[in-house]
């Protein structure tokens, strides 16, 4: 019940920033149009590039815009946690009768739920009005997509949590967070679907944890993963989520043995 309350509180907290949500919807929609027309021009020259037809490629664009904020595809760390570590306020968190990792995971799930509703649904709806999107007609595919999106948020949080914990050793973790954000943007499929990448490089990119954040959920929505392929995709996401959360647990244990407050 504690972590459910944390998630609900985080949802309500982000819901208060209405103008920020409206601005985010506008930004996602504008960039969706720009990237969609870029993809249309590319797929006009290379039909079925990466195994997608043009409608699927454009749907991939709007899926990325819908998940951009909820999965935190451009954010390299957990900003508030990084700041609390830097200032030493993390000591208060460690005294709470709650697990630090589960506390922040619950808060991130609440944030992601609000962002999916606030900054995900509207851009996708606008995209569907102006472009012929390849959206599924059956409820089961949508349910699998929501499950895959939830796993994507968990993987994203686990990676960002590791970056944030690095602040226990670094005076400023913003540089590492920026590198992590750039890696996520490229290897998640935000720039181009990973299926487009050539040869062994493309195969490697699809095995990295960032692929679990956008490429897999998008493929689930597009119907590119069905049956056994769908189960393997979900298992791939779950595997990276468990591994990264376990790594975060180990790093957290090492970091909290001796808490150093930077600056005094």
- Residue-wise pLDDT tens digits, 203-221: 999 999 999 999 999 999 9
What value does the mean pLDDT take over residues 67-87? 84
Is residue 262 pLDDT above 70, yes or no? no
User: Is 63 within 8 Å of 214 (Cβ atoms)?
Assistant: yes
What value does the mean pLDDT take over residues 111-120? 90
pLDDT at residue number 259: 57
pLDDT at residue number 81: 86
- Among the listed residues 139, 7, 110, 128, the one whose alpha carbon sits nearest the alpha carbon of residue 65: 128
Q: What percent of the chain has pLDDT over 70?
A: 97
pLDDT at residue number 63: 95
| Residue boundaries of the structural domains of the chain | 2-255
Is residue 223 pLDDT above 80, yes or no? yes
| Burial of 93 (C-beta count, 10 Å sphere; 0-12/13-18/19+) | middle
pLDDT at residue number 168: 85
pLDDT at residue number 170: 82
Copy the structure tokens of residue 194: 């990973």
What value does the mean pLDDT take over residues 58-77? 90
Is residue 92 pLDDT above 90, yes or no? no
- Rg for the chain, CA atoms, rounded: 19
pLDDT at residue number 264: 43
pLDDT at residue number 75: 81
What value does the mean pLDDT take over residues 245-259? 85
What is the Cβ-side half-sphere exposure of residue 135, based on CA atoms within 13 angstroms? 15
C-alpha 260/C-alpha 28 separation (Å) is 39
Average model confidence (pLDDT) across the chain:
89
Looking only at Cα atoms, what is the longest distance across the chain?
60
Is residue 261 pLDDT above 70, yes or no? no
Residue-wise DSSP of 14-36 = HHT-HHHHHHHHHHHHHHHHHHH
Is residue 184 pLDDT above 70, yes or no? yes
| Burial of 77 (C-beta count, 10 Å sphere; 0-12/13-18/19+) | buried
Question: What are the helix (H) ranges across the chain?
Answer: 2-15, 18-45, 54-67, 79-87, 90-95, 100-119, 121-130, 139-165, 174-187, 199-205, 215-222, 227-255
Is residue 171 pLDDT above 80, yes or no? no
What value does the mean pLDDT take over residues 12-28? 87
What value does the mean pLDDT take over residues 13-29? 87
Kindly indicate the confidence band of residue 254, based on its pLDDT and cuts at 50, 70 and 90.
confident
What value does the mean pLDDT take over residues 129-146? 93
Span of 12-21, 123-132, 186-195 with lowest mean pLDDT: 12-21
Is residue 65 pLDDT above 90, yes or no? yes
pLDDT at residue number 258: 59
What value does the mean pLDDT take over residues 9-37? 89
- Among the listed residues 236, 253, 36, the one whose alpha carbon sits nearest the alpha carbon of residue 155: 236
């Amino acid at each position: 019940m504690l972590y459910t309350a944390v998630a609900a509180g985080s949802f309500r907290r982000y819901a208060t920033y209405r103008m920020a949500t409206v601005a985010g919807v506008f930004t996602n929609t504008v960039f969706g149009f720009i990237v969609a027309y870029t993809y249309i021009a590319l797929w006009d020259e290379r039909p079925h590039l990466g195994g997608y037809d043009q409608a699927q490629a454009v749907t991939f664009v709007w899926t990325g815009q819908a998940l951009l904020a909820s999965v935190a595809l451009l954010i390299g760390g957990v900003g508030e946690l990084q700041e609390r570590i830097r200032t030493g306020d993390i000591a208060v968190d460690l005294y709470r009768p709650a697990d630090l990792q589960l506390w922040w995971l619950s808060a991130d799930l609440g944030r992601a739920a609000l962002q999916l509703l606030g900054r995900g649904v509207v851009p996708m709806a606008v995209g569907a009005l102006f472009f012929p999107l390849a959206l599924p007609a059956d409820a089961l595919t949508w349910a699998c997509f929501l499950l895959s999106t939830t796993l994507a948020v968990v993987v994203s949080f686990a990676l960002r949590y590791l970056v944030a914990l690095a602040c226990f050793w670094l005076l400023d973790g913003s540089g590492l967070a920026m590198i992590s954000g750039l890696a996520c943007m490229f290897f998640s499929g935000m720039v181009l679907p990973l299926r487009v990448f050539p040869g062994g490089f493309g195969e490697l990119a699809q095995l990295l944890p960032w692929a679990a954040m956008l490429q897999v959920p998008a493929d689930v929505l597009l119907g590119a993963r069905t049956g056994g392929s769908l189960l393997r995709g979900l298992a791939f996401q779950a595997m990276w989520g468990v591994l990264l959360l376990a790594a975060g647990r180990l790093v957290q244990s090492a970091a909290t043995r001796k808490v150093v407050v930077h600056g005094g």
